[in-house]
Structure 1
Amino acid sequence: MQSLIHYFLHFGFPLVIALVFFKKDWKKTYLILLATMLVDLDHLFANPIFDPGRCSINFHFLHTYYAMGFYVALLFLKKPFRIIGIGLLFHMLTDYIDCLMM
C-alpha cells in the first residue's frame, strides 16, 4: 500500500494540481511537475543507490532542508520557476509522507 500511495503522489497527484490550478496550461504544467522528479538523480550518489528502508529527507543532498529552502524561494519567482518550486516541494512532501509510513 505504501508504494501505491507513494507513486500516486509522484505521478497522479501532480496531474490533479495541474488540472485544478493551471487549467489553461495544464499539459505543460504537468510535464514540468513530472520533470521535477529529476531531483531523484541525487540517489545515484548514495550507496546503495536504492534502499527501501531509507528515508530520503535530509539524506540525499537535493532532499536536504537547505535545498528545500531554495525550493521555497522559487515560489516567489515567475513561471515556470514557481511551478518548478511547487513540484519540488510536493516531491519533498511525498517523500516525507513515505518516511512517516516506514
Structure 2
Amino acid sequence: MGLRAILHLCLHAAVPALLAWLFWRPRFGRAWLLMLLGWVIDLDHLLADPIYAPDRCSIGFHPLHTAPAAIVYAGLLLPRRTRLFGIGLLLHLALDAIDCAWMRCGG
C-alpha cells in the first residue's frame, strides 16, 4: 500500500475526529463514531472487480459514490438525529474526491 493510500485512510479517521473535537467536544466520542459510520458506503467496493484498486477513483465508479447518492446524504443533514451520519457520508465523499484529484495530479 502506497503513501497516498495510507494517508487517505488516515484522513478518513482524523478529519471526523478533528471536526468532532472542534464542534461537538462534550459529545466527542459519539460525534466521531457517527461520522466514522460514513465508511459504510465503502461496502459498494464489494461489487467491483477487483474489490480494491489503489489507482481507481471511487467517485462516479461505485454506486454509493455518485451524485444521486450525495443528494440522499445531504438530505440526512436535515433531521438532527441523522445529521452527524450525513456529515460523515459527505465528508467521506469529499475525501475520496480529494484522493481522485491527487491521483490525477500524479500523487
TM-score range, shorter chain: over 0.9
Q: Which residue of 2 is the match for residue 101 of structure 1?
A: 102
Residues of 1 paired with 2:90 and 2:43: CA distance? 16
- The residue that corresponds to 2:13 in the other structure is 11
- Cα distance between partner residues in 2 of 1:66 and 1:59: 13
The one-letter amino acid of 1:23's match is: R
Is there any run of 5+ residues in structure 1 with no aligned partner, and where?
none
Summarize deviations over 1:47-71 as a string: whole Å, max 9, x none: 1111111100011111010000011
Question: Cα RMSD over matched residues?
Answer: 1.1
Q: TM-score, normalised by structure 1?
A: 0.93
> Taking structure 2 as the reference length, what is the TM-score of the superposition?
0.89
Matches for 1:36-55 after TM superposition, within 5 Å: 36-55=38-57
Which consecutive segments of 4 or more residues in structure 1 shift more than 6 A? none
Q: Distance in 1 between matches of 2:64 and 2:11?
A: 19
Q: Distance in 2 between matches of 1:95 and 1:58?
A: 11
Letter in 1 for 2:83: R
Partner of 1:90: 91
Residues 19-74 of structure 1, C-alpha deviation per residue, up to 9 Å, x if partnerless? 11111211011111112211101000011111111100011111010000011111
Q: Is the 8 A contact 2:35 2:86 kept in 1?
A: no
The one of 15, 20, 23 aligned to 1:21: 23
**How many angstroms apart in 1 are the aligned matches of 2:37 and 2:77?**
16
Inter-partner Cα distance in structure 2 for 1:34 and 1:84: 8
